[in-house]
Amino acid sequence: MTGQAVPPAGTPPEILAPAGDTDCFLAALAAGADAVYLGLKHFSARMQATNFGLTELSRLADLAHAHGRRVYVALNTLIKPGELGAAYRLTARLARQVNPDGLIVQDLAMLDLARQAGFEKGLFLSTLAGFTQPRALGAALNLGAARVILPRELSIDEIRDMDAACPDGLKLECFVHGALCYCVSGRCWWSSYMGGKSGLRGRCVQPCRRVYRQMLRAPRRNTEESPERRNNARRDKARRGRTKHDQAHYGKASRFFSCLDLSLDVLVKTLLSASRVTSWKIEGRRKGPHYVYHVVAAYRMLRDEHRDPKARKMALEMLDMALGRPTTRARFLPAKASVPTEPDGQTSSGLLAGKIHVEPDGRVSLKARFELLPRDYLRIGVEDENWHATLPVTRRVPKAGTLIIRTAKHKTPGNGTPVFLLDRREPALMALLARWKDELAKLPGRPSAPVSTSPELFRPLAMSRSLTEMRLAAAVPHGKQTRAGRVLTALWVSPRSAGLSRTVVPRIVWWLPPVVWPEEEAALQRLIAKLARDGARRFVCNAPGQTVFFEDMPGPPPELLAGPFCNTANAAAVGQLKKLGFSGAFVSPELARQDLLALPKESPLPLGLVLSGFWPVGISRFGLLGIKEDMPFISPKNEIFWARRYGGNIWIYPGWPIDIAEQGPVLVQAGYSLFVHIDEPPPRDLPEIRRKGLFNFEGALL
C-alpha cells in the first residue's frame, strides 16, 4: 500500500510515545522514541489535552524527521454530518503543511476523506473502530488501512492469533503501557448518555472513575409468577418511570469500574515474536514530560536490553517513578487474567506524596514521603471529591519535611486525604529539553494555506423507501415466531437462538454481537453457517469487519445491515459501509436531533435508528469486582445503573431506556426507513426513574 509509515522488515518494533504538548513531544524525542503520536485542536479523541496547531506542529515534525523519527496525528473522533467539509479541509492542510507519517482514525469516513485530501501515507484504524477479531483484519486492508491498533483487552495468545491472521500490506500496533478504560474502546457511551460529552468525540468525563453504591438487598420474588408475566411487568415498570428510589437500600461507595494502568514491563519481550506487531504504544496524551521521558526510556531498555538483568531492573525503577497509577497486566497472561480494578483501593494517577494533616487552628499541612522540588505539581484527593485541587510546589521540601497547603475554605480536605505528585520538572530533564528547544527554535514553521475545495460525497437516495420495524429480543421468546405486518422479530446470534426450527429461522433478523474476540470467532462462524443453511438471509453486523463472516457463503448473498454499534454518524462513513457490501445502516443513537434529521438527505443507503429500549452505556471484557449482576447500583448524582453478563462480556445499562418513539413521524419524514425496538428486560428490582430516555436527541453531542 502507498506510503505505509512502518519500519523496514526485520527491524524491532517502534516505541510509540504520546505527546499532549511541545514539552512532551521533545521529552519523547529525548528519551529515544521512534515515533510520536499527538492530536490537533479538533477531531482528537483526547480533547482535554493541550494539543497542537498546524504551524507549531510543522516545526516539530521537521525536527522529528531530521532525527529519523516519525510523527502520527490522531484524527480519531466520530464525525457528525455537518463536519465532513471541515475534516476534509483540516486533513488537506495537515498533508501539505505538516506531512505526518500516519493518521490515526476512528470514523470510516476518514479513510476516504484523507485520500481525497491528498494524504498519501499510512492510515491507521484506532481501537475505537472496533476491529477486534483476526478475520476482520482483511476488511481493514480492503478499506485502505495500513495499520490496525489492537484492543487493550487481548491476551498474548490472542495477539499472536491476530498477528498470524494479519494479511500482507497491513501491520499491527499494540498498547504496552498506560491508562485502561473499563469499557471496550468504541463500545462506551457512558459519558455521552449522561450528558452529551462523548468518549467517541474525545470529551469523556470518565464516569467509570467515580464512586458507586450497590443495592444491598432485593425484595422477595413471587416464585409462582410466570417468566412472561415478570418480563411484561418489568417493561411496564421501565416505561412508567414514576417512583423515587430509596437510597437507604444502597451499600458502601466504591470505585468499582476505575481501572489500574496497564503495564506489560518485562513481559513486553513476548511480543518480539509477533512480526506484524511493528509498534509498541504508550498511552498518555494528558501526561507531563516526566511521565513521557521515563516510560519511553524504560521500554527502550526493555526492548533493546531485555536479556540484561541490570537493564530490566533499571527499567522497572523508571516505571515506578513515572507518576502513573498502580499497574496491572489485565488479561495479557491468559492463565492469570484478572479484573484490573481495585474498588476499595487507590486508582488515581500520580505517586503518593503524603497525606493531609489538619491542625486544630485550621492549618493544612503535608509531611512529604520524598523530596519535593520547585515546579512539582500536586493533586489533593481525587476529581469527584469536594476538596479536590491541584497546586504547584514553590520551594524545595526535603523528605519528611512539612509543606503548608493553602486551599479555599470551602475546599478544606479532611485528615488523611491523599496527596499525589502528578508531574515533576526535575532540573536534569529541563536542561535536556532546553537543548531540544534550542534546536527547534532554529526551524521555521510553515504557514497555513486555505483549502477551497470540498470532499466528493455520495449521491443520496430518493426518499421513496418502505418502512420496516424490528423488535430485538434479549432471548428466544416463548411461543411461535410470527411477522406482524412490517414488524420483524430480531434475535442475537447465540447457540440457543441458532437452535430454532428451520421454519422460523428465515423469518428472523439475526444480530451479531457488538464485539467478537479472537477466541470467539470460530464458534460464531459455525453458528452463522448453520443459520444460513437453515435459511437465514437477514443479518445485522455490529462492527464493520463482521462482513467477513459472510464471505464464500453458499446460496444467494444474504442481506447485511450495519448495526447501531458501528457508530455510523455521517454520509461518507455510510459510503464506506456500502463498499463493504451493506444494503442499509443503523445510525448511532447518540447523535442529536439536528444531525439525525440531516443525515438521510445525504446517505447512499437506507438508514435506521433505535427507537426504544435499553441501550448499554458500555460493554466490558474485564468482569466485575463488588458489583452483582442484575442488581441496581447508584452514582453520586443518584443515577441508577445495572450490569448483565452476556458471554464473556459485561453490559452496563442505565436505569432508564431510550424512548424516542414519539419522534417516529418526524424521523420517517426525514427519510429513515428502518427502526428497532430493543426488548431487554430490566432487573425486577430496578427502581422506577423520572427521566426521559432521549439520549442526546433534545440536547447536543459535544
Closest CA to 617 of 341, 253, 210, 276: 210
Q: Are residues 287 and 151 part of one domain? A: yes
pTM of the model: 0.92
With b for 16 or more beta-carbon neighbours within 10 A and e for fewer, the 105-114 pattern comes to bbbbbbbbbb
Query: Residue 640: beta bridge partners?
Result: 634
Banded model confidence at residue 465, pLDDT cuts 50, 70, 90: low
Q: Are residues 611 and 491 part of one domain? A: yes
Give per-residue pLDDT as tens, 354-372: 999 998 888 899 999 999 9
Determine the Cα–Cα distance for residues 44 and 509; give it in Å rounded to an integer. 36
* CATH code at position 294: 3.20.20.70
Domain boundary among 390, 425, 441: 441
Evaluate whether 701 touches 80 at the Cβ level (below 8 Å).
yes
Q: How many domains does the chain have?
A: 3
Residue 250 lies in a domain: no
Q: Are residues 423 and 381 part of one domain? A: yes
Q: Are residues 503 and 429 part of one domain? A: no
Distance, CA of 75 to chain centre: 14
Banded model confidence at residue 411, pLDDT cuts 50, 70, 90: confident
Determine the Cα–Cα distance for residues 247 and 317; give it in Å rounded to an integer. 45
- Cell matching residue 365: 499541612
Least confident of 19-28, 295-304, 338-347: 338-347
* CATH code at position 397: 2.40.30
- Cell matching residue 107: 470514523
Distance, CA of 319 to chain centre: 24
- What does the pLDDT average to over 606-628? 96
Determine the Cα–Cα distance for residues 393 and 372; give it in Å rounded to an integer. 7
Give the mean pLDDT of the chain.
Answer: 90
Residue bearing the bigger pLDDT, 449 or 340: 340
Collapsed DSSP state (helix, strand, coil) of residue 136: helix
Closest CA to 632 of 196, 337, 243: 243
**Can you give the residue range of the structural domain that contains 132?**
14-186+261-323
- 76 has pLDDT over 90: yes
Phi, psi dihedral angles at 215 (to 5 degrees): -60, 135
Q: Are residues 45 and 132 part of one domain? A: yes
Amino acid identity at 599: L
pLDDT value at position 450? 85
Q: Are residues 635 and 486 part of one domain? A: yes
Q: Are residues 641 and 593 part of one domain? A: yes
- Cell matching residue 395: 520551594
Determine the Cα–Cα distance for residues 570 and 17; give it in Å rounded to an integer. 31
Residue 230 lies in a domain: no
Strands, DSSP E only, in 399-537? 402-405, 418-423, 468-473, 487-492, 508-511
What distances in angstroms separate CA 566 from CA 550, 572, 619, 645, one per listed residue?
17, 14, 14, 21
pLDDT value at position 224? 47
- 480 has pLDDT over 50: no
- What does the pLDDT average to over 214-228? 58
- Calculate Rg over the CA atoms of the chain: 26
Evaluate whether 130 touches 153 at the Cβ level (below 8 Å).
no
pLDDT value at position 59? 97
Q: Are residues 356 and 318 part of one domain? A: no
Q: Are residues 674 and 561 part of one domain? A: yes
pLDDT value at position 236? 53
Residues 6+ apart with CB under 8 A from 479: none
What distances in angstroms separate CA 198 from CA 78, 201, 568, 654, one per listed residue?
9, 5, 14, 16
Residue 367 lies in a domain: yes
How many other CB atoms are there within 10 angstroms of residue 233's CB atom?
A: 14
- 5 has pLDDT over 90: no
Give per-residue pLDDT as tens, 504-549: 999 999 999 999 999 999 999 999 999 999 999 999 999 999 999 9
Residue 362 lies in a domain: yes
Evaluate whether 474 touches 234 at the Cβ level (below 8 Å).
no
Containing 2, the helix (H) or strand (E) segment is none
Residue 153 lies in a domain: yes
* Burial class, 478, CB count within 10 angstroms (exposed 0-12 / middle 13-18 / buried 19+): exposed
Domain boundary among 286, 307, 323: 323
Residue 213 lies in a domain: no
Domain boundary among 441, 459, 491: 441
pLDDT value at position 404? 93
Q: Are residues 301 and 432 part of one domain? A: no
Residue 451 lies in a domain: no
Q: Are residues 658 and 550 part of one domain? A: yes
* Burial class, 631, CB count within 10 angstroms (exposed 0-12 / middle 13-18 / buried 19+): middle
* CATH code at position 502: 3.20.20
Determine the Cα–Cα distance for residues 172 and 163; give it in Å rounded to an integer. 7
Q: Are residues 372 and 317 part of one domain? A: no
Collapsed DSSP state (helix, strand, coil) of residue 86: helix
Residue 254 lies in a domain: no
> What is the C-alpha end-to-end distance of the chain, expressed in Å?
35
